[in-house]
Amino acid sequence: MRIRFQLIIFMFLRTILNTAHRMVYPFLPVFARGLGVDISTMSLLMTVRSLIGTTSPLFAPIADRRGRKFGMLLGAIIFTLGVGLVAIYPNIWTLAIALILAVIGKYMFDPSMQAYFGDRIPYEQRGTALAVTEVAWSMAFIVGVPIVGFLIDKFGWSAPFPFFTILGLVIFFVVWRVVPAEDSHHELTNDSRAGYRAVLTSIPALAGISIAMFASAGNELVSVIFGVWLEDSFGLRIAALAGASAVIGISELSGEGLVAFTTDKLGKPLALTIGLVGNALAAILLPFIGQTQIGALIGLFLFYITFEYIMVSHIPLMTELVPSARATMLSINVTGHSIGRALGAFLAAIIYQHFGFLFVAFLTAVFNLAGLLALRIMQRKKTS
């Protein structure tokens, strides 16, 4: 019962972190106008944020050395400092620093939390359990982003940041109270290099990280540009963009539900295959059915439900590839996501402005097929 309670608590805590992370996507043009910069500048900021995420292996192994609780608390502190800067002095430079610190905090918090539950929950049940915490990803768009949209609409582009500063302190306090100080499920290690070696010399682990990279690159292409695409195509404004984000959140929640009910039964590799193929097909379909506002929302629904199925099936698979260095494995997996997001964010504005949304969708499908190839390599090497 205690683990179930903690899963639900962490779902809500991660909803806060994920809302701060995801709010930039639908309101990209709004932030750009508020700061007096163009879309390319904001796209560059998103690229830098993703590149900073590649440094997570430098920080997340702290959870292997100092404990899962310490890693989560430190992540919460760094996140709070980041958003607090914009709350005090809102401009393009503090926003850039906030994006960097917030992503470091999130990428320290998430692997520590996933390792914490990975230590306690059997692999056969881990897909369902971690799917509960991943509901936070969709809740950010269903609940968090509409609230952010309301704050921006009423008080300006920087209004959400004081809100997140307070919530960051709430995260710290709750983790301090809920997570036990003594952890009998995890043996602390003083040798981080052994963990790095175990991960970086494992071909299945490297192939699994490649899946994260390719899938995230494809997703970021669409995520960075969908707010701009909707605004250019249909003239959507703040409230409508928040509504579109809620539709995406509902699709992701559906994906997380599918994972909870099917991944452990189907097996993680088969579930991941279904997600990658489905997301490639949804990407190709998106520009064709997106000729109308309703069609665009349906297309985004299909795209994000399949991507969420990829992500939530992928995490439990990665938790068991190198059990001896679980937090290090998960943090390097975050690096794969970050490199992919940086690549997608860098390409998104360039491809959209020069070639249009059709080419964005096509390249997204190509990245998914590359992820499918990496999955096949991982399976072959695991059984050989």
Cα distance between residue 363 and residue 221, in whole Å: 8
The sign of the CA dihedral 10, 311, 52, 243 is negative
> Which domain, by its residues, includes 165?
2-383
CB under 8 Å to 250, separation ≥6 — which residues? 138, 141, 142, 301
Query: Whole-number mean pLDDT of the chain?
Result: 85
Higher pLDDT, 278 or 313: 278
Q: pLDDT at position 249, please? A: 78
Amino acid type, 168: G
Higher pLDDT, 248 or 95: 95
Q: pLDDT at position 131, please? A: 78
User: Confidence band (pLDDT; 50, 70, 90) for 1?
Assistant: very low
Nearest one of 21, 24, 171 to 107, comparing CA atoms = 21
In the predicted structure, residue 256 carries a pLDDT above the cut 80: no
Q: pLDDT at position 237, please? A: 66
Residue 306: count of CB within 10 angstroms of its CB: 25
Q: pLDDT at position 132, please? A: 83
CATH of the domain at 146: 1.20.1250.20
Q: pLDDT at position 291, please? A: 84
Q: pLDDT over 90 for what percent of the chain? A: 33
User: Confidence band (pLDDT; 50, 70, 90) for 152?
Assistant: very high
Q: pLDDT at position 290, please? A: 83
In the chain, the number of structural domains is: 1
Higher pLDDT, 69 or 127: 69
Q: pLDDT over 70 for what percent of the chain? A: 92
pLDDT digits (tens, 9 = 90+) for 24-35: 878 888 888 888
User: Confidence band (pLDDT; 50, 70, 90) for 261?
Assistant: confident
Q: pLDDT at position 305, please? A: 86
Cα distance between residue 287 and residue 362, in whole Å: 9
User: If you write DSSP's letter for every residue of 236-302 in order, what string do you get?
Assistant: --HHHHHHHHHHHHHHHHHHHHHHHHHHHHH-HHHHHHHHHHHHHHHHHHHHHHTTSHHHHHHHHHH
Phi–psi pair at 208, nearest 5 degrees: -65, -40
pLDDT digits (tens, 9 = 90+) for 305-357: 899 889 878 888 887 788 777 777 877 888 888 889 889 988 988 898 889 88
CB under 8 Å to 122, separation ≥6 — which residues? none
Cβ–Cβ < 8 Å for 349, 32? no
